[in-house]
Structure 1
Amino acid sequence: MTEYKPDRPLSGAFRAVWRWHFYAGLLVLPFLMLMALTGALYLFADEIDGAVYRDLSRVAPRAAAASPDRWAASAEAGLGGAVANVLVPAGPGEAVRLTVNRPDGGKRTAFVDPHDAQLIGSTPFGGVMETVKQLHSLILLGPWANYVVEIVAGWAIILVATGLFLWWPRGRGVGVVAIKAGDPGRRPFWRDLHAVTGLYAGGVIAFLALTGMPWSAFWGDQYMAWVKDHGLGRPAAPSAASPFAHAEHRDAPAGVGWTMEGMVMPGPPAGPGRLSTVIATAERQGLARPWMVSIPSDPGLAWTVARQVRQVEDTRALYIDATTGAVRADIRYGQFGVGAKAFEWGIAVHQGTQYGWINRSVMLGGCIGIWLLAISGVMMWWKRRPPRLSKGRLGAPEAPPGPRVRAAVLGIVLPLAILFPLTGLSLIVALALERAVSLLRRRFAFT
């Protein structure tokens, strides 16, 4: 097996950074590939959902309209539970979707014809795209996996930073802007493909990783707490309304975005609430469809109606007294602080909705780039792997000791480890493991 020889000897700093680039890829590429695949699918959530549930989600448009209270009654009678939220569609040719909480603790999504209130059918909660979403967030692996999202995102940024360091020419013409080697059977081809893909997709990958941080249990919560403490987050409730409160999980409003997530508005109940009253108020307020109505189980809470938007500037949520129809609060994007605006904007771009098809295409390119980088990285390793992997060697690039070498690595990795603490903690674990493996290799004389 012929190994690629550079034009000039590689410096110790280069080999040290290369070593950590190798280990970073080894740690997170399986997770990144899963998240890239599911993220790419989620970019086409509307198209996939429409194709899978076409028979359930499409109805014959008619002038007649049944009372919204009948929609809820039909879903509850058919599925044997209580309606938690209602997605009112944009047009008369679409079914209403209602989330029903069942007595056994499960959830289902009911499809109801808005014209005659007939139950068309139901699916597991959220359907196929909910499964894709849970795979993307790794939550299917368990609650602990939410912390893995932050670790993976932090290491992805480290991969991009160290990759940029390795790509920098330094007088060498190694796949700088185009693939020069034409033989896929040789390592230089995969090296060039890896370098060029990283060059053009690296910025998008780093952006996806950074804007994915809001989904993390630690960093996302810390960021939102900092934004709130510095007056840069959600607005205060109107002076005439009750202050916002943090809801119990079952009463957290759906579809309100990350800034208003979990925010409810308590108030003295004037009587039993009605879905028809809330929807009539939303219509009078000129709230553009589609929107999500959240029905709290606590009768002392206002109902929430949130517009389902693609651009963050269209964000709007109404807090409505379900008995009288009075609007207690009307929250819009312009009222958010700069921190919350940046937060919401990053999420919208991450999901490919903010700037239309161009946005979606760029994010899709980043997802494809992750797979190309992973495949080309594995191929490069395979073509330079040690002849006997069983001797405790993975084929990681060797890095000579020295303060300059350590400075090169720490100068790139340490600031990111401080910015993302869970990534920093995983770095300490990785260093400890590397030290342990090195001691074992010396003890058992692996060569």
Structure 2
Amino acid sequence: MSTLSRHNAALSTANSSSGYRTLWRWHFYAGLFVMPLLIALAITGTLYCFQPQIEPLLYPQLLVVEPQTAPRMTEDALLARARAAMPSNATAVTAAISNAPDRSTEFIFRLADGEKQSVYLNPYNGAVLGTLSVDYRFMQVDRMLHRKLLLGKPGELLMELAACWTFVMIGTGVALWWPRGATRVQDALVPRFTLKGRPLWKNVHAVMGIWLALGALAFVLTGLPWSGSWGQQFKALATATHLGAPPGTWGGLALRSVLPAGSGSQESAETDATNATFAGHETHAAQTDSMPGMVMDDLPLPQTPWAVGKVAVPASADTNANTNAKVAAPLPLGHIVAQAASLGVTSGYNIALPTSATGVYTVSYFPADPQLERTVYIDQYSGAILKDIRYADYGAVSKAVSYGTSLHMGRYFGVANQILCAAISLGLALMAVTGYVMWWKRRPQRSLGAPSRERAAPPMRGWKAGLVMLGIVFPLMGLTLLAVWFADRAIFGRAARRQREHERAAQ
């Protein structure tokens, strides 16, 4: 046996004794599943992170206007113009309120077939700039790709699984490359570009993994609370333990918009135009927007703070016993905007409009600074504030999630936050590419190329306990861990046994 062969044999023995191949095997399985999804998450996440810069470039004729010294038109006048530009059976469901001098005004309408369209107007002269599908605008498609691959619930679960398996990939990857024995810390942190071929790819892959491990872990931890399966269960648990949503938001506090009886006051022409729209709403819309059990996440809002996603939407009590009584008219949109300003919410927020006699105005403010988050329910007739939820009302878990969300989306400290998120995301995508190249260079013919089993694998009780804990905390991942373990034993274990029998027969 040559010197090099003896060295490789000794290295293999050392690696086996420390559980190296077992870790490598699990790292391989995790990477095999996560790698393609990681690339999709990295690209879509980076694009969404730069939404404020990208969308005005994609739709300049709709989003951007020339700043003027002339006063802006009132919200009610603009809403009337938007309504005139839409089909008569369309229902206004959301108003986007912004005081930016170079941005248009946006209203979202629900069409008769359920599709939602945004209408953009010049806030200075009321000119209709055009319409855009809410579900098919570029950033919404990108967001749905990021969350569920445009595959609905199955895609959402798949992305959640990918995030969970990233824990396994990060843990095994760091353990594989962490300095041990004669290896220096510098070798684990500084790439050696003097290497060539697969050793170079492996070195770059490993060093990048060490540097990106914390960022990847942060991305997973801050993204999972928004997932469709585990995230909803986590939110329910946080609420049940009084660490999530504010007290009373899951039905413990009565929230009602009272439908008043009596004669209404005389309003301006613009107010009359706005109020008239409520009388002509379709029965279907009224039933949809007044359904018992609706929560904030069901409202037609672009985004809502995590803490209030399960807040019950108020439903009015019909106190109008006298059917012949004249019902007071709803308050105009302009009144609600002025009322929000008096509460300190002046720009960059959305209002879910009441689309039935039992609805309320819902002001949703989701800024970059989590401490400024605000959710306000306003009675559509009296203007009474039914509920005003602020960051200070959140539980400890919701406060942490709010900060994590802002950092995850690259919003908390401006452009620097966006660049940091992009660097981590694209670095993870490059990790996936280098991992694929490494596999391609060593792959055997007609085989998956999974690292071979150790003949005498160590107990590795710590790692097994860690996997069990992950499976308990993330049940969906626990099921796939069991599936991979059984498949590995049943399929690849059988091949390994045949190989050992062949070796014994040859001796």
TM-score over 0.5 (shorter chain): yes
Determine if contact 1:219/1:420 at 8 Å carries over to the other structure.
Answer: yes
1:414 aligns with 2:468: yes
Counterpart selection for 1:187 from 178, 190, 198: 198
In the alignment, what sits opposite 1:295?
A: 353
Determine if contact 1:88/1:289 at 8 Å carries over to the other structure.
Answer: yes
- Structure 2: distance between partners of 1:186 and 1:307: 53
1:65 aligns with 2:77: no
In the alignment, what sits opposite 2:33?
A: 27
RMSD between aligned residues: 2.8
Structure 1 letter corresponding to 2:119: A
In the alignment, what sits opposite 1:258?
A: 306
Aligned-pair CA distance for 1:70: 2.8
Aligned-pair CA distance for 1:163: 0.8
Q: Any residues of structure 2 matched to 1:11-160 within 5 Å, and which?
A: 11-12=16-17, 13-60=19-66, 61-80=68-87, 81-125=90-134, 127-160=137-170
- Structure 2: distance between partners of 1:159 and 1:84: 44
- Structure 1: distance between partners of 2:25 and 2:349: 50
After superposition, the Cα gap between the structure-2 partners of 1:308 and 1:222, relative to the gap in structure 1 and judged at 3 Å, is closer
Classify the secondary structure of the residue corresponding to 1:370.
helix
Unaligned runs of 5+ in 1: none
- Structure 1: distance between partners of 2:415 and 2:103: 23
- Structure 2: distance between partners of 1:7 and 1:117: 79
Stretch of structure 1 that moved more, 70-79 or 160-169: 70-79
- Structure 1: distance between partners of 2:49 and 2:401: 19
**Aligned pairs, how many?**
440
Stretch of structure 1 that moved more, 367-376 or 21-30: 367-376
In the alignment, what sits opposite 1:218?
A: 229
Determine if contact 1:243/1:266 at 8 Å carries over to the other structure.
Answer: yes
In the alignment, what sits opposite 1:8?
A: 11
Determine if contact 1:75/1:100 at 8 Å carries over to the other structure.
Answer: no
Classify the secondary structure of the residue corresponding to 1:179.
coil
Classify the secondary structure of the residue corresponding to 1:97.
strand
Aligned-pair CA distance for 1:119: 1.5
Determine if contact 1:16/1:408 at 8 Å carries over to the other structure.
Answer: no
Structure 2 letter corresponding to 1:49: E
After superposition, the Cα gap between the structure-2 partners of 1:237 and 1:62, relative to the gap in structure 1 and judged at 3 Å, is farther
Q: Any residues of structure 2 matched to 1:182-331 within 5 Å, and which?
A: 182-183=194-195, 185-236=196-247, 242-243=254-255, 246-247=293-294, 251=299, 253-263=301-311, 264-268=313-317, 271-331=329-389
Classify the secondary structure of the residue corresponding to 1:424.
helix
After superposition, the Cα gap between the structure-2 partners of 1:254 and 1:41, relative to the gap in structure 1 and judged at 3 Å, is closer
Aligned-pair CA distance for 1:246: 4.4
Structure 2 letter corresponding to 1:424: G
After superposition, the Cα gap between the structure-2 partners of 1:67 and 1:7, relative to the gap in structure 1 and judged at 3 Å, is farther
Unaligned runs of 5+ in 2: 257-291, 319-327, 503-507
Could you report, residue by residue, the CA deviation over 1:140-168 in whole angstroms, capped at 9, with x for unpaired residues?
11222111122111101111111111111
Determine if contact 1:84/1:296 at 8 Å carries over to the other structure.
Answer: yes
Aligned-pair CA distance for 1:189: 0.8
Counterpart selection for 1:425 from 476, 479, 495: 479
Structure 1 letter corresponding to 2:73: A
Structure 2 letter corresponding to 1:206: L
Could you report, residue by residue, the CA deviation over 1:372-401 in whole angstroms, capped at 9, with x for unpaired residues?
211111121122222x2x2xx211111225
After superposition, the Cα gap between the structure-2 partners of 1:119 and 1:6, relative to the gap in structure 1 and judged at 3 Å, is farther
Classify the secondary structure of the residue corresponding to 2:307.
coil
Identical aligned residues as a percent: 29
Structure 2 letter corresponding to 1:56: L
In the alignment, what sits opposite 2:442?
A: 384
Could you report, residue by residue, the CA deviation over 1:415-441 in whole angstroms, capped at 9, with x for unpaired residues?
222221111111112122223322664
Determine if contact 2:27/2:172 at 8 Å carries over to the other structure.
Answer: yes
Could you report, residue by residue, the CA deviation over 1:46-68 in whole angstroms, capped at 9, with x for unpaired residues?
00011111121122334333232
After superposition, the Cα gap between the structure-2 partners of 1:16 and 1:445, relative to the gap in structure 1 and judged at 3 Å, is closer
After superposition, the Cα gap between the structure-2 partners of 1:145 and 1:212, relative to the gap in structure 1 and judged at 3 Å, is same
Q: Which structure would you say has the larger Rg?
A: 2
Structure 1 letter corresponding to 2:314: M
After superposition, the Cα gap between the structure-2 partners of 1:231 and 1:408, relative to the gap in structure 1 and judged at 3 Å, is closer
Determine if contact 2:94/2:300 at 8 Å carries over to the other structure.
Answer: no
Classify the secondary structure of the residue corresponding to 1:259.
helix
* TM-score, normalised relative to structure 1: 0.90
- Structure 1: distance between partners of 2:456 and 2:462: 10
